[in-house]
């Protein structure tokens, strides 16, 4: 390894930078900062320059002048006079390169007197001009006031005082006032040792402002920090000298949580625990986060703190904790981001124009306030989690609801001891031997609500015991002040609790990682097509309350990257530090919990690693491992190194430009952890690729995310901004392609179908998650490049504009041509022109959503509209229609917007078109309580016209969510529309009549029921008579429905998921069929159909409850259990006389009579047999005695369903197989006479015993068993 590289790994700081006013260029207004000229010159911002940086360049971290200049003075130069507050301000910043690697900056901004006469007179001139303008404005308003006849004199009386105020406050007088300008000194470092860098800068500033000059020239101290102070090795501490005192920093070892040196307590004080947890949830779900504060350091502290507690995950998207004013156009970025926006302290939130808010988490740090996106799921075990963190915060004297009036002084933990909390009433704590958390928190409403909930859920609220430091550490002398030690202790305790949550939730994650079966190179090139984690199995193991959060978290880029990392690092040596630490913790938990199932309960397990982590830090601070070379005199010419007190000088670049020839740190071989490597380069080492492959791999890895990882802070020319926007457009298209593909694969279950599972459904929770993320993507696309923002949802706002312009036209014209096509298709499909098709109308669908009172917000309406369009298979078509109004799109969007890039827009709509290949019920299943109009149409048989029919028909419709009750149908038209609460997917129709009039016989072909909002039409085939003395004498029948295929335009591909099962066709019901009427099934085929029917029911119960669908289809549908058992009893049934139908129910009734007679003659049979016979007779009698007009086939169907419900079917089959009536009614070859086959049938039916079968009320009406 070369010396150069070793140095790169070792140095504490890479650059020392001075920024401020360049006298030569003078005052340049900073237009990009967006300040207006109405403000007084002292309040305006001017361009700052990087005046000097030392050394000129280091090869491992090239100096980025634009980025450093922007971030060390984000608001440019500011001027003040002697009457203003001029305290130095410290802030840190981060420069994220496009590859995701980071460099940290630490800046101290202070004020120096302006020595240049030209600058002072320029400021004076600006003031004269400004005051003249202001005077004109005031003067014109005063003349208006005098001339106005209606004005009363009071209104004018303030004008002179206004003038004097103006002169007093808005003035700079060169003869009386001293002018000061901001200047900044800054360290650029590879690692975020924030506390140490702050001390270095403060001591350097103190050196130039104190009356006594420092012991050595400033160059000696700067040289020392740049070249002679190394980075502490992992797990070690380091001490070096500043200008006035020693500075200590320590670095965690490779098996501890990564380095984090910002005071996490400030985040809790500024926001409060409840808000922090919501922000944490948003970050995990990769929601756009915008932090807002007038303090740069607060923006940085909150951003770094929230990303630190994401361990073991890492934020994968745009990360700009301090967004310079010149980069405000980045808020338009249609990608997840975490950005910090500086507020001037005067404007309130309502004045802030943000491009997109549909999926934004807005954090107003200074006002202790957070705005959340809709439908944010709750973090698992939130209440217990809050309880655990509260205890730690209060042990350090921080109220969990935060300090509303938090100032820098409030966040000092100076001289704070645990024992002081108890008697310190100023903290809002209650005196006493221990702290009662509830008392402490009840002031805060949210906290009080949470605590009440905690008490209701039975979580014990033990008294807080303040953690005493372990006896062994009491007398430990540490080399840092108490405040710093407290920050270290609190940081590590809070972070350990957060890390523990992940360790508990993902303790068995390795089991679900899908290892690739090809080599790494080809795996990586097909990365986007590959599933790396078995999400469905993982979620099926989780407690129900976790699912809304976890199903969304598993879809994030950060989780995917975490799993990718796991796949690529097999050996412990390969793993990066974060993964190694996490896996070690998981292993520890698993060794403690030998029984894995305990991992999957929702039992909350507190963090147990705090003491060890704290001890490690205290020991490093007590025993310093390394001390750096002290600052010393440099080889400088006489006279160099002198400077004027109060001014930070330009330093001697010749002595600061090169590192010392011999440096003991360089000569030591650097340990591996010291080498700072780009993340992707680390991966390439794991892969052992040659250089070409390595380069290609790095590029691939960089392009993986969402196309645009990080904004470039340098060149802001229009071409660069255009290129950035182009990158966004490409990224959105790629994301759309991946999302549609993922949703289709999940929905169609390609792998599962290949493995032989017939019907595969995605879990409801997961489907909802994917659709929600699609809605989020649509919102981001619609808010990219907006001209003017209106409302929180850009998509809904566009739709409303469209509705306004097109609503009237549509009403006049009607969609003539498209309707014709649909009608033709409908006619072919149903062979019935009677039910006119629903008109396809974008605005009509909007009106449906607007009529739903439950949806209150624009974002909610947009999401509901997307769900409805997906269910109707019209999403692509509707959006195409919306975007076809080019005038409207031009009016609403800038030229670079995604929606105005024609090729990308076409591809995007094409990707959405693929959703038409599958059936979604994402509207019906979500809005379960809304009222929906249904249209019913009964089609009687054409052959035997129903015109003579005299009875009064009725119908009862059932769905997965409920049923309608009996509805009378007008017999003249056999068609009606009614409204009722959402029935869900329709399952059965009970149809019948009252047998009145002369001709009460009715042959019904089928029934159609259509949901008038979603357009889903269900066809319920019948093909049987309803009437006494015809068919099986039934006056009512249960029909099982099939979803009729959605209408499609000729240019849209016709393809859909398999249809649901339908009512059994009429022909199979009769026994007296001619030999040619249908082929007879052999015993093997019959056994197979019984097996399949039972298998369908078993699968049904193995699905999660919410995703099961209708059991009625599996019992009474075309290939259901009833139909399979009919085949069993039909096999070998003796043919009756000509023109006389015999039904299976006739056999059941004869068997019933036989068993009844046995009971009366009291022949001795074994007890089991008697119980079975009694049960059988009870059920047959109850069915025959029911006050219902069901026919013989209906009665057999009912008997099978009741037998399945009460787990009696296998007993009855055994009973009937031994019944002598068999001999009279069956031939010798009958299946029911073959003991071997009957035994195997009994075994198959026994599998139903473990399931709790519930029957629809319409089926068992009137049967009281």
Rounded Cα–Cα distance for residues 343 and 351 (Å): 11
Rounded Cα–Cα distance for residues 913 and 782 (Å): 18
Which two structure tokens, joined as six digits, stand for 94?
């981060």
Q: Which residues contact 559 (CB under 8 A, 6 or more apart)?
A: 313, 533, 553
User: What is the pairing mode between strands 337-342 and 318-320?
Assistant: parallel
Phi/psi at 637 (5° precision):
-70, 155
Phi/psi at 16 (5° precision):
-115, 130
Indicate the SS3 state at residue 1187: coil
Owner of token pair 């009145």: 996
Helices (H) and strands (E) in the chain, counts: 47, 24
Q: Tell me, what's the pLDDT at 690?
A: 46
Rounded Cα–Cα distance for residues 154 and 151 (Å): 8
Q: Tell me, what's the pLDDT at 1059?
A: 39
Rounded Cα–Cα distance for residues 781 and 866 (Å): 14
Where is average pLDDT lowest: 90-104, 696-710, 1135-1149?
Answer: 696-710
Q: Tell me, what's the pLDDT at 686?
A: 39
Binned at pLDDT 50, 70 and 90, residue 823 comes out as very low
Owner of token pair 């089959």: 1213
User: Could you give the percent of the chain with pLDDT greater than 70?
Assistant: 73
Region 176-198 average pLDDT: 92
Where is average pLDDT lowest: 9-18, 112-121, 508-517, 964-973?
Answer: 508-517
Region 571-584 average pLDDT: 78
Region 346-356 average pLDDT: 70
Indicate the SS3 state at residue 1039: strand
Where is average pLDDT lowest: 99-103, 165-169, 268-272, 913-917?
Answer: 165-169
Q: Tell me, what's the pLDDT at 1262?
A: 76
Length of the chain: 1265
Rounded Cα–Cα distance for residues 23 and 503 (Å): 56
Q: Tell me, what's the pLDDT at 149?
A: 41
Phi/psi at 320 (5° precision):
-135, 85
Rounded Cα–Cα distance for residues 18 and 185 (Å): 5
User: What is the pairing mode between strands 102-113 and 89-96?
Assistant: antiparallel
Q: Tell me, what's the pLDDT at 134?
A: 75
Rounded Cα–Cα distance for residues 1090 and 1165 (Å): 30
CB atoms within 10 A of CB 1168: 10
The larger pLDDT score, comparing residue 89 to residue 1055, is at: 89
441-455: burial string, b at 16+ Cβ within 10 Å, e else: beebeebeebbeebe
Region 1094-1111 average pLDDT: 80
Where is average pLDDT lowest: 603-607, 680-684, 878-882?
Answer: 680-684
Region 1148-1154 average pLDDT: 88
Residue 864 backbone zone (phi > 0: left; psi -120 to 50: alpha; other: beta): alpha
Binned at pLDDT 50, 70 and 90, residue 864 comes out as very high
Binned at pLDDT 50, 70 and 90, residue 364 comes out as very high
Binned at pLDDT 50, 70 and 90, residue 500 comes out as very high
Is the per-residue pLDDT at 147 higher than 70?
A: no
Q: Tell me, what's the pLDDT at 597?
A: 45
pLDDT digits (tens, 9 = 90+) for 52-98: 998 888 888 888 888 898 888 888 888 888 888 889 999 999 988 77
Is the per-residue pLDDT at 1063 higher than 70?
A: no
H/E element, 116: none
Region 443-457 average pLDDT: 54
pLDDT digits (tens, 9 = 90+) for 994-1052: 888 888 888 888 999 999 999 999 999 888 888 888 888 888 888 988 887 654 443 34
**What angle (nearest 5°) sits at the alpha carbon of residue 829, between those of residues 828 and 832?**
70
Is the per-residue pLDDT at 526 higher than 50?
A: yes
Phi/psi at 373 (5° precision):
-70, 160
Q: Which residues pair with 11 in a beta bridge?
A: 230
Which two structure tokens, joined as six digits, stand for 272?
């409060």
Rounded Cα–Cα distance for residues 352 and 333 (Å): 16
Between the alpha carbon of residue 1146 and those of residues 149, 698, 1130, the distances in Å are 106, 77, 12
CB atoms within 10 A of CB 345: 9
Q: Which residues contact 456 (CB under 8 A, 6 or more apart)?
A: none
Rounded Cα–Cα distance for residues 149 and 589 (Å): 85
Rounded Cα–Cα distance for residues 478 and 499 (Å): 26
Where is average pLDDT lowest: 48-62, 470-484, 1054-1068?
Answer: 1054-1068
Is the per-residue pLDDT at 326 higher than 80?
A: no
DSSP string, 721-782: HHHHHHHHHHHHHHHHHHHHHHHHHHHHTHHHHHTT-S-----HHHHHHHHHHHHHHHHHHH
Is the per-residue pLDDT at 911 higher than 70?
A: yes
Q: Of 774, 758, 704, nearest to 922 (Cα)?
A: 774
Are 362 and 311 in contact, with CB atoms under 8 Å apart? no
Region 137-158 average pLDDT: 49
Q: Mapped to the 3 state alphabet, what secondary structure does 593-607 carry? A: CCCHHHHHCCCCCCC
Q: Tell me, what's the pLDDT at 766?
A: 67
Q: Tell me, what's the pLDDT at 204?
A: 92
Are 238 and 670 in contact, with CB atoms under 8 Å apart? no
Is the per-residue pLDDT at 702 higher than 90?
A: no
Rounded Cα–Cα distance for residues 784 and 726 (Å): 11
Rounded Cα–Cα distance for residues 304 and 286 (Å): 15
| Half-sphere CA count of 228, side-chain side, radius 13 A | 21
Which two structure tokens, joined as six digits, stand for 301?
């502290």
Torsion over CA of 523, 525, 528 and 531, rounded to 10 degrees?
A: -10
Rounded Cα–Cα distance for residues 850 and 847 (Å): 5
CB atoms within 10 A of CB 976: 15
H/E element, 1161: helix 1144-1161
Which two structure tokens, joined as six digits, stand for 454?
């905690």
Q: Which residues contact 72 (CB under 8 A, 6 or more apart)?
A: 17, 19, 93, 105, 107, 109, 184, 186
Is the per-residue pLDDT at 119 higher than 60?
A: yes
Q: Which residues contact 458 (CB under 8 A, 6 or more apart)?
A: none
Are 579 and 255 in contact, with CB atoms under 8 Å apart? no
Owner of token pair 């009662």: 436
The DSSP letter of residue 253 is -
Region 789-807 average pLDDT: 85
Where is average pLDDT lowest: 22-26, 235-239, 870-874?
Answer: 22-26
E strands present in 941-1034: 953-959, 962-963, 967-968, 975-981, 986-993, 1002-1011, 1017-1026
CB atoms within 10 A of CB 33: 18
Q: Tell me, what's the pLDDT at 598?
A: 44
Region 385-398 average pLDDT: 93
Rounded Cα–Cα distance for residues 683 and 689 (Å): 10
Region 753-772 average pLDDT: 56
Alpha helix ranges (H) inside 1162-1234: 1167-1185, 1192-1205, 1209-1217, 1221-1225
DSSP string, 505-550: HTTTGGGGB---SS-HHHHHHTGGG---B-HHHHHHTS-GGGHHHH
Indicate the SS3 state at residue 91: strand
Between the alpha carbon of residue 257 and those of residues 333, 496, 728, the distances in Å are 32, 8, 34
Q: Tell me, what's the pLDDT at 195?
A: 92
Rounded Cα–Cα distance for residues 279 and 306 (Å): 8
- Interhelix angle 1209-1217/1192-1205, rounded to 10 degrees, is 120
Binned at pLDDT 50, 70 and 90, residue 936 comes out as very high
Between the alpha carbon of residue 892 and those of residues 785, 801, 802, 896, the distances in Å are 9, 9, 11, 12
Is the per-residue pLDDT at 213 higher than 80?
A: yes
User: Taking all residues of the chain, what is their mean pLDDT, rounded to a whole number?
Assistant: 77
Q: Tell me, what's the pLDDT at 461?
A: 44
């Amino acid at each position: 390894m070369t010396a150069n590289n070793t140095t790169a790994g070792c140095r504490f700081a890479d650059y020392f930078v001075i920024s401020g006013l360049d006298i030569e260029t003078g005052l340049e207004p900073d237009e990009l900062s967006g300040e207006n000229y109405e403000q007084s010159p002292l309040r305006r911002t001017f361009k700052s320059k990087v005046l000097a940086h030392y050394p000129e360049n280091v090869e491992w971290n090239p100096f980025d002048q634009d980025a450093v200049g922007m971030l060390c003075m984000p608001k440019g130069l500011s001027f003040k006079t002697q009457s203003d507050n001029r305290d130095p301000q410290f802030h840190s910043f981060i420069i994220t390169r496009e590859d995701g690697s980071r460099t940290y900056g630490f800046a101290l901004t202070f004020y120096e007197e302006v020595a240049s006469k030209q600058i002072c007179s320029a400021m004076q001139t600006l003031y004269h001009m400004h005051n003249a303008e202001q005077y004109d404005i005031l003067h014109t308003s005063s003349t208006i006031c005098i001339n106005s006849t209606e004005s009363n004199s009071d209104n004018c009386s303030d004008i002179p005082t206004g003038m004097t105020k103006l002169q007093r406050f808005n003035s700079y007088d060169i003869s009386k006032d001293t002018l000061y300008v901001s200047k900044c000194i800054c360290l650029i470092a590879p690692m975020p040792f924030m506390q140490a860098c702050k001390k270095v800068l403060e001591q350097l500033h103190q050196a130039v402002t104190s009356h006594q000059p420092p012991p050595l020239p400033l160059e000696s101290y700067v040289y020392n920090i740049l070249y002679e102070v190394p980075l502490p090795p992992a797990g070690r501490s380091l001490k070096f000298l500043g200008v006035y005192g020693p500075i200590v920093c320590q670095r965690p070892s490779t098996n501890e949580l990564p380095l984090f040196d910002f005071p996490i307590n400030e985040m809790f004080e500024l926001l409060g625990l409840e808000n922090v947890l919501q922000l944490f949830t948003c970050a995990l779900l990769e929601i756009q986060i915008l932090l807002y504060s007038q303090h740069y350091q607060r923006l940085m502290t909150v951003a770094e703190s929230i990303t630190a507690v994401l361990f073991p995950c890492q934020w994968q998207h745009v990360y700009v904790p301090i967004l310079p004013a010149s980069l405000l156009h980045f808020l338009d970025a249609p990608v997840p981001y975490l950005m910090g926006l500086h507020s001037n302290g005067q404007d309130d939130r309502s004045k802030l124009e943000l491009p997109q808010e549909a999926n934004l988490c807005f954090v107003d740090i200074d006002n202790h306030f957070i705005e959340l996106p809709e439908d944010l799921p709750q973090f698992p075990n939130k209440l217990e989690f809050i309880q655990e963190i509260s205890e730690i915060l209060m042990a350090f004297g921080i109220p969990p609801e935060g300090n509303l009036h938090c100032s820098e002084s409030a966040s000092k933990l100076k001289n704070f001891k645990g024992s002081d909390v108890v008697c310190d009433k100023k903290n809002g704590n209650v005196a006493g031997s221990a702290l009662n958390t509830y008392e402490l928190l009840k002031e805060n409403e949210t906290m009080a609500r949470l605590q009440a909930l905690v008490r209701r859920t039975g979580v014990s609220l033990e008294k807080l015991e303040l953690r005493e430091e372990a006896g062994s550490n009491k007398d430990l002398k540490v080399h840092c002040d108490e405040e710093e030690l407290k920050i270290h202790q609190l940081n590590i305790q809070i972070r350990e609790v957060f890390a523990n949550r992940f360790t508990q939730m993902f303790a068995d994650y390795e089991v679900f990682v899908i290892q690739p079966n090809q080599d790494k190179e080809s795996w990586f090139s097909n990365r986007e097509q590959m599933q790396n984690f078995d999400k469905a199995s993982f979620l099926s193991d989780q407690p129900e309350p976790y699912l809304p959060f976890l199903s969304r978290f598993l879809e994030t880029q950060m989780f995917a990257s975490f799993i990718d990392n796991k796949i690529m690092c097999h050996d412990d040596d390969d793993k990066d530090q974060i993964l190694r630490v996490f896996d070690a913790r998981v292993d520890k938990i698993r060794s403690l919990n030998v029984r894995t199932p305990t991992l999957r309960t929702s039992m909350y397990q507190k963090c147990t690693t705090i003491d060890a982590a704290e001890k490690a830090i205290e020991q490093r601070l007590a025993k310093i491992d390394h001390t750096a070379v002290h600052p010393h005199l440099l080889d400088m010419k006489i006279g160099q190194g002198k400077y004027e007190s109060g001014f930070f000088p330009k330093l001697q670049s010749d002595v600061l430009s090169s590192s010392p020839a011999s440096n003991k740190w360089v000569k030591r071989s650097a340990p591996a952890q010291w080498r700072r490597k780009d993340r992707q380069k680390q991966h390439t080492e794991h892969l052992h690729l040659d250089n070409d492959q390595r380069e290609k791999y790095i590029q691939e890895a960089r392009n993986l995310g969402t196309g645009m990882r990080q904004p470039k802070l340098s060149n802001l020319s229009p071409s660069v901004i255009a290129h950035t926007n182009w990158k966004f457009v490409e990224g959105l298209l790629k994301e759309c392609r991946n999302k549609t593909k993922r949703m289709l694969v999940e929905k169609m279950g390609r792998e599962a179908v290949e493995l032989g599972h017939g019907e595969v459904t995605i879990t409801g929770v997961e489907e909802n998650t994917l659709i929600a993320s699609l809605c989020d993507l649509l919102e981001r696309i619609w808010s990219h490049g907006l001209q003017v923002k209106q409302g929180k949802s850009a998509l809904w706002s566009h739709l409303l504009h469209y509705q306004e312009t097109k609503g009237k036209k549509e009403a006049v014209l009607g969609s003539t041509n498209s309707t014709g096509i649909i009608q033709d298709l409908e006619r072919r499909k149903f062979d019935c022109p009677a039910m006119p098709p629903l008109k396809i109308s974008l605005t009509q669908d909007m009106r449906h959503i607007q009529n739903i009172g439950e949806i209150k917000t624009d974002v909610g309406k947009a999401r509901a509209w997307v769900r409805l369009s997906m269910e109707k298979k019209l999403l692509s078509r509707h959006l195409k229609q919306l975007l076809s109004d080019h005038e409207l799109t031009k009016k609403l969007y800038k030229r670079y917007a995604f929606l105005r890039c024609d090729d990308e827009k076409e591809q995007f709509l094409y990707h959405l078109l693929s959703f038409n290949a599958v059936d979604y019920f994402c509207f019906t299943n979500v809005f379960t309580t809304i009222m929906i109009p249904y249209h019913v149409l009964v089609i009687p048989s054409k052959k035997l016209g129903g015109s003579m029919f005299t009875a009064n028909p009725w119908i009862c419709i059932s769905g997965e969510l409920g049923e309608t009750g009996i509805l009378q149908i007008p017999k003249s038209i056999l068609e009606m529309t009614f409204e009722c609460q959402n029935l869900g997917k329709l399952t059965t129709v009970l149809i019948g009549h009252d047998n009145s009039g002369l001709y009460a016989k009715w042959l019904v072909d089928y029934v159609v029921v259509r949901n008038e909002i979603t357009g889903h039409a269900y066809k319920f085939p019948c093909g049987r008579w309803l009437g006494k003395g015809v068919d099986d004498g039934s006056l009512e029948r249960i029909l099982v429905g099939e979803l009729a295929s959605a209408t499609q335009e000729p240019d849209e591909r016709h393809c859909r998921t398999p249809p649901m099962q339908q009512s059994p066709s009429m022909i199979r019901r009769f026994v007296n069929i001619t030999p040619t009427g249908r082929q007879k099934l052999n015993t093997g085929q019959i056994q197979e159909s019984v097996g399949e029917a039972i298998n369908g029911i078993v699968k049904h119960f193995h699905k999660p409850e919410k995703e099961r669908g209708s059991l009625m289809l599996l019992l009474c549908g075309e290939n259901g259990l009833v139909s399979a058992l009919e085949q069993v009893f039909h096999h070998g049934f003796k043919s009756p006389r000509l023109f006389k139908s015999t039904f299976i129910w006739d056999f059941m009734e004869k068997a019933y009579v036989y068993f009844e007679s046995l009971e009366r003659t009291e022949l001795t049979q074994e007890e089991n047999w008697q119980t079975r016979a009694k049960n059988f007779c009870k059920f047959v009698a109850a069915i025959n005695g029911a006050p219902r007009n069901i026919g013989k086939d209906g009665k057999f169907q009912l008997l099978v369903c009741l037998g399945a419900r009460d787990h009696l079917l296998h007993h009855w089959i055994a009973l009937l197989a031994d019944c002598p009536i068999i001999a009279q009614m069956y031939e010798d070859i009958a299946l029911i006479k073959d003991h071997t086959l009957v035994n195997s049938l009994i075994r198959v039916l026994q599998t139903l015993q473990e399931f709790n079968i519930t029957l629809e009320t319409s089926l068992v009406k009137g049967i009281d068993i």
